Amino acid sequence: MDNKNTQLENIVSLAKRRGFIYPGSDVYGGLSGTWDYGPLGVALKRNIMQLWWKMFVDDRDDIYGVDAAILMNKKVWEASGHTATFTDPLVECSNCHSRFRADKIDTSKCPTCGKEDTFGEPRQFNMMFKTHVGAVEDDTSISYLRPETAQGIFTNYKNVVDSFYPDLPFGLAQQGKAFRNEISPRDFIFRSREFEQMEIEYFVEPDKWEESFNALLRDVHAFLDALGLPQDRVHELEVSEDDRAHYSKRTIDIEYDFPIGKEELLGLAYRTDFDLMNIQNNSGKNMEYTIKGTNTKFVPHVIEPSFGVERAVMAVLSAAYTEDEVNGEKRIVMRFPEHLAPVKYSVSPLLRNKPELVEKAREVYRILKKKHGNVMWDDNGNIGKRYRRQDEIGTPYVVVIDFDTLEDNAVTVRDRDTTEQKRVSIDSLQ
């Protein structure tokens, strides 16, 4: 099956069946726009996030990590414009009272009840989740669950400059939860109400932004390659001035051919000095940077690569999902890159009712588990069923201990992608 034609239902079914992703609050009928990650989904998501952190933070000396609080002073969102303008157009059907984003449906006919001409004029709906901090619920205690991680970075810009005084250009990176009260969450984990972001705010001299923008664009593509995403399914969209955010002087959206169609995977935006000037003007705190050894001062401009973790997970799942045939038998296989696979090795005794094989297999399992961590024990069913199960969760290698192992200290390693098997010594397992 061509990955581009993979149906979303196949991925959703496999994700639930094999313990990647479950509907949120499922035992109570669910909660729209929320998803829970099972053991394999947690491992996959963590591998993606750790890869991002390694490539954009650990392997560089110009980007620093921060982790800001989810709850922030409401003045943050007033200054950034979120309180007034972070809205979507909402319409409601007068017949069944279903609500939709006006820009995502044909408003001449209700998708739920099928009635025509039941929608009035759209009204703006603020997507931030409002809450109260403290014992009293009044206007002074209002706060919000953050709708993005970026503002937590901007509010810490001055703290990091004062603590480390890094040379320009430099960036601050953050991974964490964000919350948006989406009118119409849809398409599995693509658009949900609770999600995670990986964002960088890269601070530059105003007249040198283009060089850093282009360098970060190259870095973004290198990361997507490391995720195993086919290059012919990744597309750059130069966002026109009419469609850009008002503070952006240039934005490139990276789109991907998901099973639901070509949709935005991430964005790269040149935000000028909009955010830091907002903070300076509203807080009264000086956001200027002084070039070391000079009297040159200015408010830095910012370039922002913004990644959604769930969209990256969905892209990786759709790129990995494959259906093929082995010896005339259909199989489903998740062809994850080895460094992203939730399980790297599965270890199996050829026969589970032979104590000597089980004991030796446990020994091999402990060796690999201590070295790699993401190793699974599997002795359920015959060896063919184990192979199919491991294919479906994307395990690159299945290690089988048989009677010959007791004599030569070698095992059979079966490759997920080629299904080829070879004998190797236990000591040579990597």
The domain ranges of the chain are 3-72+147-318, 343-428
Evaluate whether 402 touches 383 at the Cβ level (below 8 Å): no
SS (HEC) of 289-325: EECCCCCCEECCEEEEEEEEHHHHHHHHHHHHEEEEE
Give CA separation, 384 vs 59, 404, 413, in Å: 41, 19, 14
Evaluate whether 141 touches 129 at the Cβ level (below 8 Å): no
Name residues whose C-beta falls within 8 Å of residue 144's C-beta, 6 or more positions apart in sequence.
Answer: 71, 72, 74, 77, 82, 128, 129, 130, 131
DSSP class per residue in 202-238: EEE-GGGHHHHHHHHHHHHHHHHHHTT--GGGEEEEE
CATH class label, 3-72+147-318: alpha beta
Evaluate whether 299 touches 359 at the Cβ level (below 8 Å): no
pTM (2 decimals)? 0.92
Phi-psi region of 132 (alpha: psi -120 to 50; beta: other; left: phi over 0): beta
Residue 33 CA, chain-centre distance (Å), reads 15
Per-residue pLDDT of the chain (430 residues; tens, 9 = 90+): 444 445 899 999 999 999 999 999 999 999 999 999 999 999 999 999 999 999 999 999 999 999 999 999 999 999 898 988 888 888 999 999 888 888 888 888 898 898 998 998 888 888 899 999 999 898 889 999 999 999 999 999 999 999 999 999 999 999 999 999 988 888 999 999 999 999 999 999 999 999 999 999 999 999 999 999 999 999 999 999 888 888 889 999 999 999 999 999 999 999 999 999 999 999 999 999 999 989 999 999 999 999 999 999 999 999 999 998 888 889 999 999 999 999 999 999 999 999 999 999 999 999 999 999 999 999 999 999 999 999 999 999 999 999 999 999 999 999 999 999 999 999 888 6
CATH hierarchy code of domain 343-428: 3.40.50.800
**Angle CA 200–204–205, to nearest 5:** 170
Rg, C-alpha atoms of the chain: 25
